Structure 1
Amino acid sequence: MVLKKVSNDKGPQLVYSNNSGVNILEIGGLKFKDHNRSGKLEDFEDWRLKPAQRAQDLAKRLSIRDIAGLMLFTSHLALPSVGDRGQLYDGEEFDATKHSPSDLSDIQKKYFLKNRIKHTLVAKVQSPRVAAEWNNRVQELSESMPWAIPVVNSSDPRHGYKANAEFNEGSGGQISQWPESIGMGATFDPSLVKKFGEVASKEYRAMGLTMVLGPQVDLATEPRWMRFNGTFGESAKLTSDLGTAFVEGFQDSNQTGEWGVNSVITMAKHWPGGGVIEGGRDAHFGYGKYGVYPKNNQSYQLKSFEAAIDQKSTDVQRTAGIMPYYSISYNFDSKHENVGNSYSRYLITDLLREHYGYDEVVSTDWCITADEPTNVLDILSGDQCWGVEDNYSIGERHLRLLMAGVDQFGGNKDPEPVIWAYDEMCKLMGKPWAEKRFRLSARRILTNMFRLGLFENPYVDIEKANQIVGSKEFSHAGVDAQTKSVVMVN
């Protein structure tokens, strides 16, 4: 791979692959990437414009199938794809004598080329260097496609020690080690959490990761919940303070008050609070699908989210994404709809969008549109489509989610149910309405991409990956935080 670099005296450096077909436009002494190979500067290619303006321009140009690709999000990927996450390379299992750990598997190539997916969830990686190399291969492939839209690689928590849970399997390995969120909560120190975000964002960007699926701002009001350690504790005030510090640390990594080259998108979860599961069970499983409010404490569970989405804060201080939980928030509103949170129009549109004015991306949790598991104990054997298990097809579930106000489908790799949902939406609401609805989600999703500067440079410096990730400075900061998180019990 040969990367070309073009400098601007008063603008960003442009980096693109020699093999992608992208050319450079020069206008008034400034240089721009010609993403659509049109030979003229379009608004979405003009880095002088605001991200939202660029996103609006590109969103109106894309086909519905392109937008369907934007709405998709891969399931957990391992680099290389071996073991439980194993995939085929050139029709055979991974062979280190034939393949590089950073090679794209056959199914990954299908994700990007055929399905037009632009968002991944990267779980296990062999090393920071492998992650960086893989990112560059992905970006080169995506850059060679029409529109040359970059790929956003996301991660679940990576900086703890426990890696034996589906939602935490990126942890451990060659990266700075910090306390789990509950340990962060034990420090009562927002500045420490902000520092974590600033460090972690630099490590993420060095590996080609540009989105963190966090912070988890659920309140730990049910101590038997299995995701208790991912929370900041039971206090709404403390969780609000630490959650907003987390968001600002990751998104405003360089402390400029602006999005920058080290910024990482945050996706706060799990709206409207996943820690209230009946009996302390968990909504990954059918027997734990209900969130309950025995003291009618719905408003208390929302306080930490209110802080994360505060419209009085700037966009770099406000979480750029929200993820609802699998659970059915039982009788949360007077409509008693009682469907999984992502399926609830009240929770997504009436409450989050309209009442709180939140106009950023909303993504479902992973895998909620296929049929429920046949094995009640296996969270990986099927999907958690709670409240719409019966009498809904997979396409109808996608349609319902879109009508509820969702923008992205976590863990969904197939665009066909999304296209089906669009066609049905055209029949129900008319084509202009359906097209406007799809382009609205596209604009929200693309805005985050432009904020990150990925259209100018989606590539990372492979040689620096191992120097930055898990560096002595960052590792010492993590150990210091661990020390401060220790609670002595007399």
Structure 2
Amino acid sequence: MSQERPQIGSRLSRVIEQDGLQFRDLDGDGVLAPYEDWRLTPAERAADLVKRMNVEEKAGLMIIGSHYPGYSPLAPESEGKDAEKCEPLLNPVDMWREDNPITGVPFTEPVLATSSTENAINLRNQRYLIVRDNLPARGLATWTNAVQEVAERSRLGIPVAFASNPRNHVALVAQFGVNESAGVFSEWPGELGLAALRDAELMETFGTEAAKEWRAGGVHKLYGYMADLASEPRWSRFNGTFGEDPELISDYIAAVVRGLQGPELSKNSVSTTIKHFPGGGVRLDGHDPHFHWGQTNEYPTEDALGKYHLPPFQAAIDAGCASIMPYYARPMNNSANQLDQQLWQNPTTQFEEVAFAYNRTFIQDLLRDAMGHRGYVNSDSGVIDAMMWGVEELSEPERFAAAVRAGTDIFSDMANPRRLLEAVAEGHLDESELNQPVQRLLEEIFQLGLFENPYVSEDEAEKIIGAPEVSALGNKAQLDSVTLLRNNPIRAATGSCSKPEDLPIGYWPYQDRRGSTTAGSSHSRRTPRGNLGVFRVRSRSCNRVGSP
């Protein structure tokens, strides 16, 4: 039983007082239900809530999709949309796409890209949402609070868990799906820059400080970090790795999980989704499996999987990572021996050649049973309708069924649970098969403290996010991460520059958030002023950070 008395935060729900304690009346019936009782364990509360949920609510919980403020440039056009006034705050319109935004390949039918906030919460029952916008601190907190109010009005009052890709690395502009913020949160070196420091203790500090900023803004889950071993420099995701040393990657992954999550998930944690299992760095000629020509994982070296690619994931599991993301790729039987014989499909076939989100051998037998992962499995984006390698002949409801039975719990960048509901209605899945994934997901939301108080203070968000103290730590890490690759004939820049025209060749001037002209490049490096900045454009009224 949990003994710590939590802070209760409600804007719409009544508060039940019992035994001198306070509890949120999330379902509005005036009676303390087990799932509302914070004295019970997350597992006990989740088990009670699963029994109360209908199939539509379960299916909605099992998808996680992009969501935007109504005034976002990424949101659909709507009546009265005004980015300068930050209106409307909540998105009022559903948005559909006809082609994949990454590959440009047309969908077989229009796909719901994002729902209106009301439809996301109350029609499609989503409770995991991805933050894509580069919002300033107050704007982020104001928006996440507004979405939580919509969730509080729902039948069971289940709060929203907001997720994001990394937001704490120095960047000239935010990059969709990779580094989704620039100039708002504290700015640290990129992943390779952090790896160059060879300082796992600093990595843990980074995670601890980043978690404070994220939770202050109402964001609870991070898509990261990449435990992939970089083995092919032509791979487009190379710069998101911690390099090519399995031991260093393992140390860093364990450290960042400890930093972000703490000893266990709590109201102060940011949960981690470590990716891309069982190692995305296995890239033939650098081709990425977002595209059909890069869909295979081929292992020419015997036991490369066990020696090089799996150890960082084992380190993440041992550190208690909340979830694991499988990659799009599929393993190929032209590989050298990688798995123990008992994991082979039969005496002559090592792999089932289907994408890892559909691959029960890798998810259940290897990840969960052999490696001990106790969290949930979060698919990569588009595994049902775009990058469905090895299961193209299945219908979308059949793909959902195959992935759920393989062990995938939640499906990324999806805004519509319709095909999952069809999988149940058509008999490909029994509703009871949704209960285990839903249980795992609810346990995380309970552990994060959101059922007691999903709201944050806008004033505190402004104080904590990008605060001078943590920004100074990030700036120092940028300077310390500078690595000299060749000392001849290149000469390191020295001296001081008082005017922009005095800046060294190879740099360009731009302004940091304080308006100071400073030298810089697209990579962290020591500058004459010892201070890196990025060029930013801010709207006058809502202070929303944009890009040139």
Calculate the TM-score normalised by the size of structure 2: 0.78
Cα deviation, residue 98, structure 1 = 6.9
Structure 1 residues 128 and 273, CA gap change in structure 2 (3 angstroms): same
Cα deviation, residue 258, structure 1 = 4.2
Cα deviation, residue 354, structure 1 = 2.0
Q: Aligned partners of 1:366 and 1:428: how far apart in 2? A: 22
Cα deviation, residue 177, structure 1 = 0.4
CA contact (8 A) 1:74 1:413 kept: yes
Amino acid across the alignment from 2:481:
S
Q: Aligned partners of 2:80 and 2:163: how far apart in 1? A: 25
Is residue 302 of structure 1 aligned with residue 302 of structure 2?
Answer: no
Give 3-state SS (helix, strand or coil) of 1:309's partner.
Answer: helix
Amino acid across the alignment from 2:9:
V
Is residue 86 of structure 1 aligned with residue 75 of structure 2?
Answer: yes
The superposition leaves residues 377-402 of structure 1 with CA deviations (integer Å, 9 ceiling, x where unpaired) of xxxxxx2111122x221111111111
Residue aligning to 1:404: 406
Amino acid across the alignment from 2:135:
Q
Structure 1 residues 10 and 327, CA gap change in structure 2 (3 angstroms): closer
Task: Point out the structure with the larger helix share.
Answer: 1
Q: Aligned partners of 1:396 and 1:258: how far apart in 2? A: 36
Is residue 128 of structure 1 aligned with residue 137 of structure 2?
Answer: yes
Structure 1 residues 308 and 261, CA gap change in structure 2 (3 angstroms): same
Q: Aligned partners of 2:421 and 2:86: how far apart in 1? A: 35
Residue aligning to 2:528: none
Residue aligning to 1:14: 8
Is residue 284 of structure 1 aligned with residue 275 of structure 2?
Answer: no
Is residue 341 of structure 1 aligned with residue 337 of structure 2?
Answer: no
Residue aligning to 2:25: 34
Give 3-state SS (helix, strand or coil) of 1:124's partner.
Answer: coil
Is residue 272 of structure 1 aligned with residue 278 of structure 2?
Answer: yes
Residue aligning to 1:353: 368
Cα deviation, residue 358, structure 1 = 2.0
Residue aligning to 1:313: none
Q: Aligned partners of 1:179 and 1:365: how far apart in 2? A: 25
The superposition leaves residues 88-147 of structure 1 with CA deviations (integer Å, 9 ceiling, x where unpaired) of 33xx37224775263334233221121010011111233121111110110000010011
Partner of residue 463 from structure 1, selected from 459, 473, 483: 459
Residue aligning to 1:4: none
Amino acid across the alignment from 1:11:
R
CA contact (8 A) 2:71 2:89 kept: no
CA contact (8 A) 2:72 2:133 kept: no
Q: Aligned partners of 2:55 and 2:379: how far apart in 1? A: 20
Q: Aligned partners of 2:291 and 2:192: how far apart in 1? A: 23
Alignment of 1:34-53 (within 5 A): 34-53=25-44
Amino acid across the alignment from 1:337:
E
Alignment of 1:361-400 (within 5 A): 361-370=376-385, 383-389=386-392, 391-400=393-402
Cα deviation, residue 356, structure 1 = 2.2
Q: Aligned partners of 2:293 and 2:398: how far apart in 1? A: 24
Structure 1 residues 65 and 80, CA gap change in structure 2 (3 angstroms): closer
Give 3-state SS (helix, strand or coil) of 1:270's partner.
Answer: strand
Q: Aligned partners of 1:327 and 1:462: how far apart in 2? A: 41
Residue aligning to 2:446: 450
Residue aligning to 2:99: none
Q: Aligned partners of 1:183 and 1:52: how far apart in 2? A: 39
Which range moves more in the overlay, 145-154 or 277-286?
Answer: 277-286
State how many pairs are aligned: 447
CA contact (8 A) 1:102 1:130 kept: no
CA contact (8 A) 1:329 1:338 kept: yes
Cα deviation, residue 10, structure 1 = 5.8
Structure 1 residues 298 and 215, CA gap change in structure 2 (3 angstroms): same
Is residue 437 of structure 1 aligned with residue 433 of structure 2?
Answer: yes
Cα deviation, residue 181, structure 1 = 1.2
Residue aligning to 1:102: 89
Q: Aligned partners of 2:133 and 2:418: how far apart in 1? A: 28
Give 3-state SS (helix, strand or coil) of 1:66's partner.
Answer: helix
Q: Aligned partners of 2:200 and 2:372: how far apart in 1? A: 26
Is residue 180 of structure 1 aligned with residue 171 of structure 2?
Answer: no
Q: Aligned partners of 1:190 and 1:43: how far apart in 2? A: 41
Q: Aligned partners of 2:190 and 2:58: how far apart in 1? A: 36
Q: Aligned partners of 1:96 and 1:454: how far apart in 2? A: 29
Amino acid across the alignment from 2:148:
Q
Residue aligning to 1:195: 205
CA contact (8 A) 2:63 2:413 kept: yes
Give 3-state SS (helix, strand or coil) of 2:116's partner.
Answer: helix
Q: Aligned partners of 2:259 and 2:86: how far apart in 1? A: 37
Q: Aligned partners of 1:272 and 1:229: how far apart in 2? A: 18
Cα deviation, residue 260, structure 1 = 3.1
Q: Aligned partners of 2:23 and 2:469: how far apart in 1? A: 36
Q: Aligned partners of 1:136 and 1:228: how far apart in 2? A: 36
The superposition leaves residues 10-29 of structure 1 with CA deviations (integer Å, 9 ceiling, x where unpaired) of 61111111xx3x21111111
Give 3-state SS (helix, strand or coil) of 1:16's partner.
Answer: coil
Is residue 161 of structure 1 aligned with residue 170 of structure 2?
Answer: yes
CA contact (8 A) 2:72 2:83 kept: no
Is residue 419 of structure 1 aligned with residue 421 of structure 2?
Answer: yes
Residue aligning to 2:108: none
Is residue 204 of structure 1 aligned with residue 214 of structure 2?
Answer: yes
Amino acid across the alignment from 1:116:
N
Aligned residues with identical type, % of pairs: 38
CA contact (8 A) 2:138 2:462 kept: yes
RMSD of the TM alignment (CA)? 2.0
Structure 1 residues 86 and 441, CA gap change in structure 2 (3 angstroms): same
Is residue 57 of structure 1 aligned with residue 48 of structure 2?
Answer: yes
CA contact (8 A) 1:263 1:452 kept: yes
Is residue 229 of structure 1 aligned with residue 225 of structure 2?
Answer: no
Residue aligning to 1:152: 161
The superposition leaves residues 122-175 of structure 1 with CA deviations (integer Å, 9 ceiling, x where unpaired) of 112331211111101100000100110000100101112344644224131211
Q: Aligned partners of 2:194 and 2:28: how far apart in 1? A: 48
CA contact (8 A) 1:87 1:94 kept: no
Cα deviation, residue 403, structure 1 = 1.2
